[in-house]
Protein backbone atom coordinates (compact mmCIF):
# COMPACT_ATOMS: atom_id res chain seq x y z
CA UNK A 1 0.00 0.00 0.00
CA UNK A 2 1.54 3.29 -1.15
CA UNK A 3 0.88 6.15 1.26
CA UNK A 4 1.48 9.83 0.53
CA UNK A 5 1.45 12.43 3.28
CA UNK A 6 0.41 16.02 2.56
CA UNK A 7 1.55 18.66 5.04
CA UNK A 8 -0.58 21.79 4.81
CA UNK A 9 1.85 24.62 5.59
CA UNK A 10 0.84 27.24 3.03
CA UNK A 11 -0.86 29.69 5.41
CA UNK A 12 0.50 33.01 6.64
CA UNK A 13 -0.65 32.51 10.24
CA UNK A 14 -2.74 35.71 10.32
CA UNK A 15 -4.49 34.75 13.57
CA UNK A 16 -1.11 34.21 15.17
CA UNK A 17 0.27 37.63 14.20
CA UNK A 18 3.89 38.71 14.03
CA UNK A 19 6.33 39.05 11.16
CA UNK A 20 7.78 35.53 11.09
CA UNK A 21 5.86 32.64 9.56
CA UNK A 22 4.24 30.66 12.37
CA UNK A 23 5.38 27.32 10.99
CA UNK A 24 9.03 28.40 11.27
CA UNK A 25 8.82 29.31 14.95
CA UNK A 26 10.67 26.96 17.27
CA UNK A 27 9.09 24.79 19.93
CA UNK A 28 11.45 22.90 22.18
CA UNK A 29 14.39 24.06 20.05
CA UNK A 30 12.98 22.77 16.74
CA UNK A 31 10.82 24.54 14.13
CA UNK A 32 7.13 23.61 14.20
CA UNK A 33 7.27 22.66 10.51
CA UNK A 34 10.27 20.38 11.01
CA UNK A 35 8.50 18.50 13.81
CA UNK A 36 5.37 17.99 11.72
CA UNK A 37 7.24 16.82 8.62
CA UNK A 38 9.52 14.50 10.60
CA UNK A 39 6.53 12.73 12.14
CA UNK A 40 5.74 11.42 8.65
CA UNK A 41 9.32 11.08 7.39
CA UNK A 42 10.01 8.68 10.26
CA UNK A 43 6.78 6.70 9.87
CA UNK A 44 7.32 3.31 8.21
CA UNK A 45 3.97 3.31 6.37
CA UNK A 46 4.57 6.65 4.59
CA UNK A 47 6.39 6.53 1.25
CA UNK A 48 6.49 10.17 0.16
CA UNK A 49 5.59 13.63 1.46
CA UNK A 50 4.21 16.69 -0.31
CA UNK A 51 4.53 19.98 1.58
CA UNK A 52 2.41 22.98 0.58
CA UNK A 53 4.36 26.14 1.47
CA UNK A 54 4.29 29.90 0.95
CA UNK A 55 6.08 30.81 -2.28
CA UNK A 56 9.09 32.25 -0.43
CA UNK A 57 9.76 28.91 1.25
CA UNK A 58 9.34 26.92 -1.95
CA UNK A 59 12.12 29.01 -3.49
CA UNK A 60 14.38 28.84 -0.44
CA UNK A 61 13.40 25.81 1.66
CA UNK A 62 15.14 24.97 4.95
CA UNK A 63 17.67 22.12 4.92
CA UNK A 64 15.33 19.72 6.73
CA UNK A 65 13.04 19.79 3.67
CA UNK A 66 15.88 19.19 1.21
CA UNK A 67 18.07 16.57 2.87
CA UNK A 68 15.59 13.76 3.50
CA UNK A 69 15.58 9.96 3.45
CA UNK A 70 12.23 9.82 1.61
CA UNK A 71 10.99 11.84 -1.39
CA UNK A 72 9.73 15.27 -0.32
CA UNK A 73 7.99 17.45 -2.93
CA UNK A 74 7.43 21.17 -2.32
CA UNK A 75 4.50 23.02 -3.86
CA UNK A 76 3.11 26.50 -3.49
CA UNK A 77 0.17 27.00 -1.17
CA UNK A 78 -3.10 28.62 -2.12
CA UNK A 79 -5.28 31.38 -0.70
CA UNK A 80 -7.25 28.86 1.36
CA UNK A 81 -6.21 25.67 3.08
CA UNK A 82 -8.21 23.55 0.63
CA UNK A 83 -6.41 25.27 -2.26
CA UNK A 84 -3.07 24.29 -0.73
CA UNK A 85 -4.22 20.70 -0.31
CA UNK A 86 -5.49 20.61 -3.91
CA UNK A 87 -2.09 21.83 -5.15
CA UNK A 88 -0.36 19.16 -3.08
CA UNK A 89 -2.75 16.46 -4.28
CA UNK A 90 -1.83 17.20 -7.88
CA UNK A 91 1.85 16.63 -6.98
CA UNK A 92 1.21 13.31 -5.21
CA UNK A 93 2.22 10.07 -6.86
CA UNK A 94 -0.46 8.52 -9.06
CA UNK A 95 0.34 5.21 -7.36
CA UNK A 96 -0.83 6.50 -3.98
CA UNK A 97 -3.47 4.25 -2.43
CA UNK A 98 -4.02 6.39 0.68
CA UNK A 99 -3.31 10.08 1.16
CA UNK A 100 -3.00 11.41 4.69
CA UNK A 101 -3.29 15.15 5.31
CA UNK A 102 -1.84 16.93 8.33
CA UNK A 103 -1.68 20.53 9.50
CA UNK A 104 1.88 21.79 9.90
CA UNK A 105 0.67 23.66 13.00
CA UNK A 106 0.15 20.31 14.81
CA UNK A 107 3.74 19.30 15.63
CA UNK A 108 3.01 16.50 18.13
CA UNK A 109 1.02 13.87 16.22
CA UNK A 110 2.27 10.48 17.39
CA UNK A 111 3.24 7.56 15.16
CA UNK A 112 0.38 5.54 16.65
CA UNK A 113 -2.14 8.22 15.72
CA UNK A 114 -0.83 8.34 12.15
CA UNK A 115 -0.99 4.54 11.91
CA UNK A 116 -4.57 4.38 13.20
CA UNK A 117 -5.77 7.03 10.78
CA UNK A 118 -4.11 5.44 7.74
CA UNK A 119 -5.44 1.98 8.64
CA UNK A 120 -8.98 3.32 9.12
CA UNK A 121 -8.93 5.13 5.77
CA UNK A 122 -7.59 2.07 3.96
CA UNK A 123 -10.53 0.10 5.36
CA UNK A 124 -13.40 2.59 5.13
CA UNK A 125 -12.28 5.18 2.57
CA UNK A 126 -12.03 8.22 4.84
CA UNK A 127 -11.00 8.82 8.45
CA UNK A 128 -10.07 11.66 10.76
CA UNK A 129 -8.56 11.99 14.19
CA UNK A 130 -10.93 13.57 16.71
CA UNK A 131 -11.28 13.96 20.46
CA UNK A 132 -14.55 13.73 22.36
CA UNK A 133 -15.86 16.89 23.95
CA UNK A 134 -15.33 16.98 27.72
CA UNK A 135 -17.62 19.93 28.28
CA UNK A 136 -21.36 20.39 28.01
CA UNK A 137 -22.02 21.90 24.57
CA UNK A 138 -24.46 24.76 23.94
CA UNK A 139 -25.63 26.01 20.57
CA UNK A 140 -26.13 29.76 20.48
CA UNK A 141 -29.25 31.27 18.94
CA UNK A 142 -27.15 33.48 16.66
CA UNK A 143 -24.31 35.99 16.56
CA UNK A 144 -23.99 38.48 19.39
CA UNK A 145 -25.73 41.80 18.76
CA UNK A 146 -24.53 45.15 20.06
CA UNK A 147 -25.60 45.63 23.66
CA UNK A 148 -27.03 42.14 23.98
CA UNK A 149 -25.73 38.78 25.23
CA UNK A 150 -25.90 35.62 23.19
CA UNK A 151 -28.58 33.19 24.27
CA UNK A 152 -28.70 29.39 24.25
CA UNK A 153 -30.79 27.82 21.51
CA UNK A 154 -30.28 24.25 22.72
CA UNK A 155 -28.00 21.96 24.68
CA UNK A 156 -26.35 19.29 22.55
CA UNK A 157 -25.64 15.75 23.69
CA UNK A 158 -22.00 15.86 24.69
CA UNK A 159 -21.54 12.19 23.77
CA UNK A 160 -22.13 13.00 20.08
CA UNK A 161 -19.70 15.95 19.87
CA UNK A 162 -16.14 15.42 18.64
CA UNK A 163 -13.47 18.03 17.95
CA UNK A 164 -11.71 17.37 14.64
CA UNK A 165 -7.94 17.16 14.40
CA UNK A 166 -5.50 16.06 11.77
CA UNK A 167 -4.22 13.72 10.44
CA UNK A 168 -7.12 13.01 8.14
CA UNK A 169 -6.65 10.20 5.63
CA UNK A 170 -8.49 9.16 2.47
CA UNK A 171 -8.30 6.61 -0.26
CA UNK A 172 -7.09 8.44 -3.33
CA UNK A 173 -10.40 8.18 -5.20
CA UNK A 174 -12.34 9.52 -2.21
CA UNK A 175 -10.09 12.56 -1.80
CA UNK A 176 -10.12 13.23 -5.53
CA UNK A 177 -13.93 13.26 -5.56
CA UNK A 178 -14.07 15.48 -2.45
CA UNK A 179 -11.66 18.07 -3.86
CA UNK A 180 -13.44 18.06 -7.23
CA UNK A 181 -16.79 18.70 -5.53
CA UNK A 182 -15.34 21.61 -3.56
CA UNK A 183 -13.90 23.19 -6.69
CA UNK A 184 -17.01 22.58 -8.82
CA UNK A 185 -19.51 23.94 -6.28
CA UNK A 186 -17.26 26.66 -4.86
CA UNK A 187 -17.45 25.20 -1.36
CA UNK A 188 -15.32 26.75 1.37
CA UNK A 189 -14.52 23.96 3.82
CA UNK A 190 -12.27 24.08 6.86
CA UNK A 191 -11.07 20.51 6.32
CA UNK A 192 -11.13 17.78 3.70
CA UNK A 193 -13.37 15.52 5.80
CA UNK A 194 -16.19 18.06 5.39
CA UNK A 195 -15.79 17.89 1.60
CA UNK A 196 -15.77 14.09 1.72
CA UNK A 197 -19.01 14.19 3.73
CA UNK A 198 -20.60 16.51 1.17
CA UNK A 199 -19.49 14.12 -1.58
CA UNK A 200 -21.48 11.34 0.11
CA UNK A 201 -18.67 9.42 1.81
CA UNK A 202 -18.83 8.17 5.38
CA UNK A 203 -15.91 9.43 7.46
CA UNK A 204 -14.66 7.19 10.26
CA UNK A 205 -13.65 8.75 13.58
CA UNK A 206 -10.29 7.73 15.02
CA UNK A 207 -9.38 8.49 18.62
CA UNK A 208 -7.28 11.65 18.61
CA UNK A 209 -4.80 12.81 21.22
CA UNK A 210 -5.01 15.68 23.70
CA UNK A 211 -1.33 16.48 23.05
CA UNK A 212 -2.00 16.85 19.31
CA UNK A 213 -2.71 20.56 19.71
CA UNK A 214 -2.91 23.09 16.91
CA UNK A 215 -0.75 26.16 17.46
CA UNK A 216 -3.05 29.01 16.45
CA UNK A 217 -2.30 31.93 18.81
CA UNK A 218 0.81 33.01 20.76
CA UNK A 219 -0.80 31.62 23.92
CA UNK A 220 -0.62 28.14 22.41
CA UNK A 221 3.18 28.31 22.35
CA UNK A 222 3.41 27.97 26.13
CA UNK A 223 1.33 24.78 26.00
CA UNK A 224 3.44 23.49 23.12
CA UNK A 225 6.66 24.14 25.02
CA UNK A 226 5.31 22.15 27.97
CA UNK A 227 4.42 19.23 25.68
CA UNK A 228 7.86 19.34 24.05
CA UNK A 229 9.53 19.31 27.48
CA UNK A 230 7.43 16.31 28.54
CA UNK A 231 8.39 14.45 25.36
CA UNK A 232 12.06 15.16 26.01
CA UNK A 233 11.68 13.73 29.51
CA UNK A 234 9.95 10.63 28.14
CA UNK A 235 12.74 10.18 25.60
CA UNK A 236 15.19 10.16 28.49
CA UNK A 237 13.01 7.67 30.35
CA UNK A 238 12.16 10.13 33.14
CA UNK A 239 8.99 9.50 35.13
CA UNK A 240 6.74 12.20 36.54
CA UNK A 241 7.17 10.83 40.04
CA UNK A 242 10.98 10.81 39.99
CA UNK A 243 12.79 13.03 42.43
CA UNK A 244 15.11 15.81 41.18
CA UNK A 245 18.10 13.69 42.25
CA UNK A 246 16.78 10.76 40.19
CA UNK A 247 16.27 13.01 37.20
CA UNK A 248 19.75 14.53 37.43
CA UNK A 249 21.21 11.04 37.65
CA UNK A 250 19.31 10.01 34.53
CA UNK A 251 20.54 13.09 32.67
CA UNK A 252 24.15 12.31 33.60
CA UNK A 253 23.74 8.65 32.59
CA UNK A 254 20.82 8.58 30.11
CA UNK A 255 21.27 4.92 29.12
CA UNK A 256 20.44 3.84 32.67
CA UNK A 257 16.95 5.32 32.31
CA UNK A 258 16.02 4.15 28.82
CA UNK A 259 12.96 1.89 28.68
CA UNK A 260 13.58 -1.72 27.82
CA UNK A 261 13.24 -2.54 24.10
CA UNK A 262 11.56 -5.93 24.30
CA UNK A 263 12.21 -8.12 21.24
CA UNK A 264 9.67 -10.64 19.94
CA UNK A 265 10.41 -13.22 17.26
CA UNK A 266 8.08 -14.84 14.75
CA UNK A 267 8.50 -17.69 12.26
CA UNK A 268 6.88 -17.86 8.84
CA UNK A 269 6.65 -20.62 6.23
CA UNK A 270 5.05 -20.84 2.81
CA UNK A 271 4.94 -23.41 -0.02
CA UNK A 272 3.37 -23.34 -3.49
CA UNK A 273 3.26 -25.73 -6.41
CA UNK A 274 5.12 -24.67 -9.56
CA UNK A 275 3.08 -24.68 -12.78
CA UNK A 276 3.50 -23.50 -16.34
CA UNK A 277 1.85 -20.26 -17.39
CA UNK A 278 2.43 -18.44 -14.10
CA UNK A 279 5.14 -15.83 -13.40
CA UNK A 280 7.63 -16.56 -10.63
CA UNK A 281 7.45 -13.63 -8.22
CA UNK A 282 9.87 -13.59 -5.28
CA UNK A 283 10.19 -10.64 -2.94
CA UNK A 284 8.13 -8.60 -5.40
CA UNK A 285 10.60 -9.27 -8.24
CA UNK A 286 9.74 -11.21 -11.41
CA UNK A 287 12.32 -13.99 -11.77
CA UNK A 288 12.85 -15.44 -15.27
CA UNK A 289 11.66 -19.05 -15.04
CA UNK A 290 9.81 -21.68 -17.04
CA UNK A 291 7.23 -22.10 -14.29
CA UNK A 292 5.74 -19.95 -11.56
CA UNK A 293 4.03 -20.47 -8.22
CA UNK A 294 0.32 -21.24 -8.18
CA UNK A 295 -1.79 -19.25 -5.74
CA UNK A 296 -4.75 -16.90 -5.21
CA UNK A 297 -2.53 -13.80 -5.08
CA UNK A 298 0.78 -13.55 -6.92
CA UNK A 299 1.97 -16.53 -4.78
CA UNK A 300 5.15 -14.76 -3.64
CA UNK A 301 6.51 -17.22 -1.06
CA UNK A 302 9.09 -14.71 0.22
CA UNK A 303 6.51 -12.07 1.09
CA UNK A 304 4.04 -14.66 2.41
CA UNK A 305 6.61 -16.18 4.76
CA UNK A 306 7.77 -12.75 5.98
CA UNK A 307 4.15 -11.63 6.49
CA UNK A 308 3.41 -14.71 8.59
CA UNK A 309 6.58 -14.20 10.62
CA UNK A 310 5.74 -10.56 11.40
CA UNK A 311 2.10 -11.30 12.24
CA UNK A 312 3.17 -14.26 14.36
CA UNK A 313 5.64 -12.21 16.35
CA UNK A 314 2.83 -9.76 17.14
CA UNK A 315 0.39 -12.61 17.95
CA UNK A 316 -1.96 -11.36 15.22
CA UNK A 317 -2.66 -14.65 13.48
CA UNK A 318 -1.48 -15.43 9.96
CA UNK A 319 -1.82 -14.22 6.39
CA UNK A 320 -4.88 -16.42 5.78
CA UNK A 321 -6.77 -14.73 8.60
CA UNK A 322 -6.28 -11.22 7.27
CA UNK A 323 -6.14 -11.89 3.50
CA UNK A 324 -8.09 -15.14 2.91
CA UNK A 325 -8.08 -16.75 -0.53
CA UNK A 326 -11.88 -16.84 -0.32
CA UNK A 327 -11.94 -13.04 -0.66
CA UNK A 328 -11.93 -11.84 -4.30
CA UNK A 329 -10.15 -8.63 -3.24
CA UNK A 330 -6.89 -10.54 -2.91
CA UNK A 331 -7.08 -12.44 -6.20
CA UNK A 332 -3.88 -11.62 -8.08
CA UNK A 333 -2.91 -9.14 -5.34
CA UNK A 334 0.66 -7.98 -4.94
CA UNK A 335 2.11 -9.77 -1.93
CA UNK A 336 4.29 -6.72 -1.29
CA UNK A 337 1.04 -4.82 -0.71
CA UNK A 338 -0.21 -7.53 1.67
CA UNK A 339 3.10 -7.35 3.53
CA UNK A 340 2.79 -3.57 3.84
CA UNK A 341 -0.75 -3.94 5.21
CA UNK A 342 0.47 -6.49 7.77
CA UNK A 343 3.19 -4.09 8.91
CA UNK A 344 0.52 -1.40 9.42
CA UNK A 345 -1.47 -3.82 11.61
CA UNK A 346 1.63 -4.50 13.69
CA UNK A 347 2.43 -0.78 13.94
CA UNK A 348 -1.09 -0.17 15.28
CA UNK A 349 -0.07 -2.38 18.23
CA UNK A 350 2.87 -0.09 19.00
CA UNK A 351 5.41 -2.45 17.43
CA UNK A 352 7.96 -2.09 14.64
CA UNK A 353 10.00 -4.55 12.60
CA UNK A 354 13.66 -4.84 13.54
CA UNK A 355 14.91 -7.26 10.87
CA UNK A 356 13.87 -10.27 8.80
CA UNK A 357 15.77 -13.28 7.47
CA UNK A 358 14.41 -15.45 4.64
CA UNK A 359 15.55 -18.75 3.13
CA UNK A 360 14.08 -19.65 -0.26
CA UNK A 361 14.13 -23.40 -1.09
CA UNK A 362 14.10 -23.86 -4.86
CA UNK A 363 15.89 -26.21 -7.22
CA UNK A 364 15.83 -23.94 -10.24
CA UNK A 365 16.42 -21.17 -11.23
CA UNK A 366 19.15 -19.75 -9.01
CA UNK A 367 18.12 -16.52 -7.32
CA UNK A 368 21.49 -15.05 -6.29
CA UNK A 369 21.49 -12.43 -9.07
CA UNK A 370 18.11 -11.13 -7.89
CA UNK A 371 18.66 -11.10 -4.14
CA UNK A 372 19.62 -7.41 -3.85
CA UNK A 373 16.52 -6.28 -5.77
CA UNK A 374 14.34 -8.55 -3.63
CA UNK A 375 15.85 -7.21 -0.40
CA UNK A 376 15.25 -3.62 -1.51
CA UNK A 377 11.62 -4.31 -2.47
CA UNK A 378 10.82 -6.14 0.78
CA UNK A 379 12.54 -3.42 2.81
CA UNK A 380 10.41 -0.72 1.15
CA UNK A 381 7.24 -2.65 1.89
CA UNK A 382 8.21 -3.00 5.55
CA UNK A 383 9.59 0.54 5.89
CA UNK A 384 13.10 -0.43 7.01
CA UNK A 385 16.57 -0.24 5.51
CA UNK A 386 17.55 -3.02 3.09
CA UNK A 387 20.52 -3.75 5.37
CA UNK A 388 17.98 -5.25 7.81
CA UNK A 389 16.56 -7.71 5.26
CA UNK A 390 18.37 -10.98 4.50
CA UNK A 391 17.32 -13.29 1.66
CA UNK A 392 19.23 -16.40 0.58
CA UNK A 393 18.57 -19.41 -1.60
CA UNK A 394 18.98 -23.14 -0.92
CA UNK A 395 18.10 -26.32 -2.77
CA UNK A 396 16.48 -29.43 -1.29
CA UNK A 397 19.07 -31.74 -2.84
CA UNK A 398 16.47 -33.61 -4.89
CA UNK A 399 14.41 -34.61 -1.85
CA UNK A 400 10.56 -34.46 -1.88
CA UNK A 401 8.38 -32.29 -4.14
CA UNK A 402 10.59 -29.22 -3.69
CA UNK A 403 13.67 -31.25 -4.53
CA UNK A 404 11.98 -32.64 -7.64
CA UNK A 405 11.25 -29.09 -8.81
CA UNK A 406 7.50 -29.41 -8.35
CA UNK A 407 7.20 -26.76 -5.64
CA UNK A 408 8.90 -23.80 -4.00
CA UNK A 409 9.08 -23.02 -0.29
CA UNK A 410 10.34 -20.24 1.96
CA UNK A 411 11.16 -19.99 5.65
CA UNK A 412 11.33 -16.62 7.43
CA UNK A 413 12.19 -15.24 10.83
CA UNK A 414 11.20 -11.73 11.89
CA UNK A 415 12.20 -9.77 14.96
CA UNK A 416 9.81 -7.06 16.09
CA UNK A 417 10.13 -4.68 19.00
CA UNK A 418 8.29 -2.02 20.94
CA UNK A 419 8.46 1.28 19.10
CA UNK A 420 10.18 4.14 20.90
263-418 falls under which CATH superfamily?
2-C-methyl-D-erythritol 2,4-cyclodiphosphate synthase (3.30.1330.50)
Strands in 202-262 per DSSP E: 204-207
Phi, psi of 143 (to 5 degrees): -65, 155
What is the pTM for the complete model shown? Answer: 0.58
Span(s) in the chain for CATH 3.30.1330.50: 263-418
pLDDT at 258: 33
Confidence of residue 327 (pLDDT cuts 50, 70, 90): confident
What residues pair up with 264 in beta bridges, in sequence order? 416
pLDDT at 22 over 90: no
CATH architecture of 3-216: Alpha-Beta Complex (3.90)
d(CA 126, CA 368): 42
Mean pLDDT of 170-180: 94
| Of 54, 8, 41, 35, nearest in space to 167 by CA | 8
The rounded percent of the chain whose pLDDT value lies above 90 is 56
CB 59 within 8 A of CB 49: no
| Residue spans in the chain of domains classed CATH 3.90.550.10 | 3-216
Amino acid sequence: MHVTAIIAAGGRGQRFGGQQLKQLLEVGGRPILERSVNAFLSHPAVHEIVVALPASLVEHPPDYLRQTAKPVHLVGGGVRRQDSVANAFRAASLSSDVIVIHDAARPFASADLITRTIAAAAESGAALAAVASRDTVKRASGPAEAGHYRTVAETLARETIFLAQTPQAFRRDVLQAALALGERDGLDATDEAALAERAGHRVQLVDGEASNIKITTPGDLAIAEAIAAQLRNEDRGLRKDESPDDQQSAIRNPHSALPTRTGRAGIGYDLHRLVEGRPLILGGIAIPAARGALGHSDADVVCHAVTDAILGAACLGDIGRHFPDSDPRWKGASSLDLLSRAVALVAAEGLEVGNVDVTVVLESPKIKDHVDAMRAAVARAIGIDAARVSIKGKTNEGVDAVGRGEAIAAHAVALIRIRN
